[in-house]
Amino acid sequence: MIRDIRNIDNKWFFTELPFPFKIFSFFIKGDLLVLFPLLLCILVLGFINLRFMFVMIGVYIAIRSLGEMIYWFSHQFYERKYRPADFGFKKLDNHAVYILYQTLSICGLVFGSGIILFFLGF
């Protein structure tokens, strides 16, 4: 089901996903907006270079876990007052926008680390 981003609200964004999704570190529907396309791109890499795909999956798991750890740590101690650019998701609160930024950063870290590892010969 494709949704118009202007109509995505907190209720949809924060809906918890069933267990099979959690295996891939998708915990709420909002995670799917960024991380599902990332994981699809990583899987497509398997058609080009299977070894590199597995390196990227390892990088994804490590960085996603680190991102979640930092997220929960900061969630315990800091307030969410600042609202960065919301990419058109007008109905989302600051908490949801922060999650979008976190997942986008994870994408950058995964691909950046993967490229470094690729050129180092791993």
- Is 4 a domain residue? no
67 Cβ partners below 8 Å, 6+ apart? 102, 103, 105, 106, 109
- Is 59 a domain residue? yes
Query: Of residues 1 and 50, which shows the higher confidence score?
Result: 50
Which range, of 30-34, 55-59, 75-79, 118-122, averages the lowest pLDDT?
75-79
- Is 109 a domain residue? yes
Domain count, the chain: 1
Q: Which domain holds residue 104?
A: 29-120
- Is 10 a domain residue? no
Task: Give the model confidence (pLDDT) of 46-68 as tens digits.
Answer: 999 998 898 888 888 888 888 88
- Residue 27 DSSP SS3: coil
- Is 91 a domain residue? yes
Q: Which structure tokens are listed for 93?
A: 């609160």
- Is 97 a domain residue? yes
